[in-house]
Structure 1
Amino acid sequence: MTRTGADAARHYESALDHLLFFREEVDAEVRAALRDSPRSVMGNVFAAYLGLLGTEETAAADARGAFEAFRREVDPARLTSRERGHLEAASSWLAGDIHRAGRLLAEVSVACPRDALALAVGHQIDFFTGDAVLLRDRIGGALSAWDADDPHYGPLLGCYAFGLEESGHYRRAEEVGLEAVERNARDVWGIHAVVHTYEMQGRFEDGIRYLDARARNWADGNYLTVHNWWHYALYLLESGRTDRVLEVYDTAVHHEDSSDAAMELLDAASLLWRLHLAGVDTGDRWSTLADAWARRRDGAYYAFNDAHAVMAYVGAGRFSDAEALVRDRQEWVRRADPGVSNVSMTVDIGLPVCRALVDYGRGRYDEVTELLLPLRHRFHAFGGSHAQRDALQRTLVEATLRGSRPDLARTLLSERVSLRPLCRYDRQAQSRLAGRLGG
C-alpha cells in the first residue's frame, strides 16, 4: 500500500467491505482514506473506480481530472506490480477503453487472486460489457485461492453466482447464490444473483416469495435497492398483477424523491417499456421519466443508457428528443477515438436499437424487425444482463406479431416457450399469434 498510512489503510479496508456489499458508505470511506493519505496509490485508484462504476459521464469526467493530476506525481518504478496494474486499468477505463481495463484487472487477479478490489471492479466491467463467460470465470478462477472463512469470500460467491446465471448454469447459480446469502443475509448482490436464476427459469412466484422473505435485507439503504425492486416488479408483471407493478414503480422505482441516477432511470424506463409492450396504461409516468432523462443532458458515454433514454422519450411521445439523441450519437461516432469502447457499442448495437425503438413508437414494425433481428444474439455487446436485455427481445417479438412476419413470430415464441414454459408473456403472445393465424 504505497504512500498509505495505517489509518488510511483501515479506511480502505472498510471501503472495500462497503463496496462488496453495495453500501452507500463506500464513498465516505474512500474520501476518509484520501484525507489521511492524499497520495495513497490505492486510495486514488479506488476513488477513480467509484467515479466510473455508476456509468455517469459527469462523475467519470471529474474522476479523470483528479486521477490525471495524481498520476503526474507518481513514479511507476516505485510502485508494486499490483499497484501498477491498477493504475493502468483505472487510466484505461477513464480514457474510455473499458475492455482493456478489464483485461488488465484480469492480469492483476492472476498474480494476486485475493485482491478483492480487482475482482469486484473487474466483475462490474464484465457486466457493463455483457461478457457472461468472464462474469463467471474471472471470479471462478480466483476462488480456490480464498479461505472460505474470509469475510469477503461470501460476497465473492455472490458474484460467482451471478456469473454462473448469466452463462446459463441456473441450478449451480442458485446453489452458490443461496450459500452467499446464508453467509451474510445483507449480501444484496448474492440476493440479486438468486433473483436472476428465478427470472431466467420462469419461477416468478418463487422469486416473489424469496424477496418477500428477505425484504428487510435488500429493500433499502444500498445501491441495488431500486434494481432489486425492479426485479420484484418483473415478477409481479409475469404474474399478471399490473396494478401492483405500478404501485412498486411509484413507491420504489421512480418517484419525486428518486436520485435520477442513470442506473435507476434505466430500470424505470425498462419497466415502463415492458408495460407499454403489454398495452398497459401507465398514465403520465412516461412524461415524468422523460423529463428526468432530459435533465441529465447526457452526452455519448454508455450506449446501454442511451437506449433506455430513448425508451422514455418514445414512451412519452417525445420523438424529437429521441431523434435528437440519435443524431447526436451519429455525429459523435464520426469524430470519436475508435479506441473508446463505447464507439463500437454505439455503432454496432446502440444506434440500431435506438432507431428501432423510435420506429416501434411510430408503428413501423417491419422496420423494427429489420433492425433488431440481426442483433438479437449480439445485444449483450453493449452491456446489461439477460433479464435487462429481454425488453429488446420482447420488442422484436411484438414487432413480428404486429408487422408482416407471423412466421418469424412463431419461431421466436417457440424458442422462448421452450426455455421458460411458465412465462405468462410468452404464452399470451402465442395465443395472440394463434388468433391472428386463425388457429
Structure 2
Amino acid sequence: MTPVTPATPGPATLDAADPLAAYRDRFVGAESPLVYFDGNSLGRPLRVTGPRLARFVDQEWGGRLIRGWDEDWLALPERVGDDLGRVCLGAAPGQTVVGDSTTVLLYKLVRAAVALRPGRTEIVLDRDNFPTDRYVAQGVAAECGLTLRWIETDPAGGVEADQLAEVVGERTALVLLSHVAYRSAWLADAPRLTRIAHDAGALVLWDLCHSAGVVPVELDAWDVDLAVGCSYKYLNAGPGAPAWAYVARRLLEDTERPFVQPVQGWIGAADSFAMGPDYRPAPGIRRVLSGTPPVLGMLPLRDMLEVLAEAGIEAVRAKSVALTSYAAELGEELLGDLGVRLASPREVERRGGHVTLDHPQMREVTARLWQRDVLPDFREPHGLRLGLSPLSTSFAEVASGIEAVRHELVDLRR
C-alpha cells in the first residue's frame, strides 16, 4: 500500500508555535515515547504532586495528626470547590463542593431536584448519555414513581435544542444532560438548552465530567441549577479522585422549597461535632456533603487547579481546539482511504476535548495499540476515542499515534 503523505502542517511546526508547549514538561511521563490518548479518562499526574503528597504524609498527617482537621482539612471541600468554581466553572464562591464519587453526587442531586418539583412526574435525558447518568436516573425514577422521557440522539452528535423543546413540558421535573458527550465529544449548547428547560418550569442538571478543565464553563451566567463532575480526567487528580457538585445559590437559599439531599451524614449537618439526636442540614453548599472529606484526593486537584489558573482556561481551550482539529484532519488524511470516518462534530464550536474515529476493526486496533504503548480508548460500537489533554499532549504525539493507527489497520488487512 502506498504511504500517505499528510498535507497538514508538520507537528514540529505546530509544537514550536504552541504557547502552552512548556507545560508538557510538568507532567510525569510526558518525556517518554508513549503516546497517551486517554487524558479524558485519566489525566497524567503532575510532577509536583508526588512531593506534595510526601510532605503531607510527613508534616501534616504525621506531624499535626488529628489537629489537621481543625486547622485545615474540614474546610477543604468548600475551599477547593471555590477554587474549582473560579478557575473552571464560572461559579461564584459558596456553590461548589468536593466529595464523594460522581455517581453518588448524581444520585444526591437528581433526588434533591425531583423533590423540588413536586407534582411533576418526568425526568428527561438522552439514550446516549453516559451509563452512570442513565442508571442513576432509572434508579431514582423507580424509587420515586417517575417516568423517564428519552431523547434519541445520533451517536456521532448530541442533544439539539429542537429535540429538547419537543419533550419538555409541565410534567418535566428535571432535565439531565452531559455538556460534552462521552462518545462523540458533541458540545451541547448549554445556555440555550437550560433556557428551554426553565421555560417549561424544569430544573437542569449538567454532567461536566468531560468539560471541566478543558472547555470554559459559565454556570452562573448560564443560570444553571445543578452540575456535577469528576476530577480525574482533565483535572488530573488521579484514579479514584473525588468528584464535585455545584448547586446554584438561589436553590441553597430558598426557604420555601429547601434543598435537601437524601444521604444525610454528619459532615453535612449544621453542627457536625454536636453529635445531636436529629439531623439538621448545614447552611449553604456544605449540606451536599455526607461523610468524611477525601483529604488526600483533593491534594492533586489543588495542584492542577493552580496550573490551570496560571495557563488560563481560554488558552487551554484554544490548544484543545487546535489538537482536536489536527487529529481530525490528520486522521482523515492518513486513514480515510482505509475506511475510517470521523464520528465527532466537524465544527469546533460543537466539539469538546476529544475526537472519535470509527472503523469496524477499531476494537482489534485498540488492543494492538496498547501493546505498542499507544493508549486510546475504545467505545462501542466502532469508536477509537482520542482524548487529548491540552497541557500534557503535543502535536508530535498526535501525529505518532495516528500513524500507529494506520500501521495497525494496514496490518490487519494483510
Q: TM-score range by the shorter chain?
A: under 0.3
Q: Which has the higher relative contact order, 1 or 2, with Cα contacts under 8 A spaced 6 or more apart?
A: 2
- TM-score normalised by length of structure 2: 0.26
Return the TM-score normalized by structure 1.
0.25
